[in-house]
Structure 1
Amino acid sequence: MIKELANVVAIGVGEITVTSQIKSSCGGCAQVDTCGSGQVAKALPQAKLTLTLPYDTNAPKNTLKLGDSVMLALPEKHVLSSAGQVYLLPLFGLITGSAIGQWLLKQQVFSHELFALALGVAGGYLGYRFAKFQQKQGKKSACLQPEIIAVLPSVDLTK
């Protein structure tokens, strides 16, 4: 499970909005002051990610309040599967289109290499569109919806 801590910033009818601090992977090593990536990470402000999640506010066990911290989780299996599709399908389309283009060029169906190149680019684009279609399927997108696995109530410091 991939876990992330987020804060509740809005509660609506059947949904909640949470924000999470985007963490830079840079900044933890001893070379952060001399590294170009470290300088860029320090110069840019830390961004926040905002998500709106479905949430049944009428259920008796659901007692979220503004300011509460929640632990969100995604199954690692689904994230890896999705990343594999997004990266590999366009690459596979590019390689397949290029191979077919080269074969057609050798068979003298194409008169110039630019046609073979265009077929490779078209294959890569078709792979991209197919990956995008796969990610928008109802079952696939439901698997990538973060779930609230724990609620950490806000601490009132005025008491």
Structure 2
Amino acid sequence: MMEQKARVIGQDSPDWVLVEVEMQSACNHCDNSDNCGTGSVAKAFSAKLQQFAVPADRRYEVGDLLKLGLPESVVLKSAALVYLLPLFGLLSGGLLGQVIGGQLGLNANALAMAGGLTGGFVCWWLGKRQARSLEAQAQPIILSYLGKQVTGQSA
């Protein structure tokens, strides 16, 4: 289960709570982030906030902190669709272009390149669509209540 801290920003109905999650770059969590060029670039850009509703079993107040969970299988399936499917399309499109070019007596290498690029692009597009659908169906759940958000108010 992948976990993320979220802040409650509203509750429209008793069964759903609106939360805000700060999307973080993986570069900020590495021990070498101070010595890495990619980590420096990641720090230069501000964090993105994402808002969505999650099912709630009780009422929460604005500012409450929650720990949300999302099954890792959703992320792994999406990554496989976006990365492995285009690779499969590239290889099978190239092989198909090579075979067709050889049988027709055409330039097999040019057809293999064109077939590979076409197959890779088509499979990337299909994988991206399927991954979006899969992620839209995935619903984070509230794992625990973390308390109130501490603010810097002076007395």
TM class, shorter-chain normalised?
0.7 to 0.9
Which residue number corresponds to residue 145 of structure 2?
A: 151
Distance 1:65 1:109, change over 3 A: farther
Contact kept in structure 1, 2:23 and 2:50, CA below 8 Å: no
Kindly indicate whether the alpha-carbon contact (under 8 Å) linking 1:15 and 1:52 is maintained by their aligned counterparts in 2.
no
Separation (CA, whole Å) in 2 of partners of 1:23 and 1:16: 22
* TM-score (structure 1 length as normaliser): 0.75
Aligned length: 151
Which amino acid is 1:108 matched to?
L
TM-score by length of 2: 0.76
Q: Which consecutive unaligned segments of at least 5 residues does structure 1 have?
A: none
Higher strand share: 2
CA displacement at 1:80 relative to structure 2: 1.3
Measured at CA, do residues 91 and 52 of structure 1 come closer, stay the same or move farther in structure 2, by a change above 3 Å? Answer: same
Name the structure with the higher helix share.
2
Q: CA deviation at 1:144?
A: 2.4
Aligned to 2:31: 29
Question: Alignment partner for residue 86 of structure 1, among 70, 82, 105?
Answer: 82
Unaligned stretches of 5+ residues in structure 2:
none
Aligned residues: CA RMSD: 3.0
1:126 aligns with 2:122: yes
In the aligned structure 1, how far is the partner of 2:128 from the partner of 2:32? Answer: 40
| Distance apart, 1:115 and its partner CA | 3.4
Distance 1:99 1:10 in 2: 54
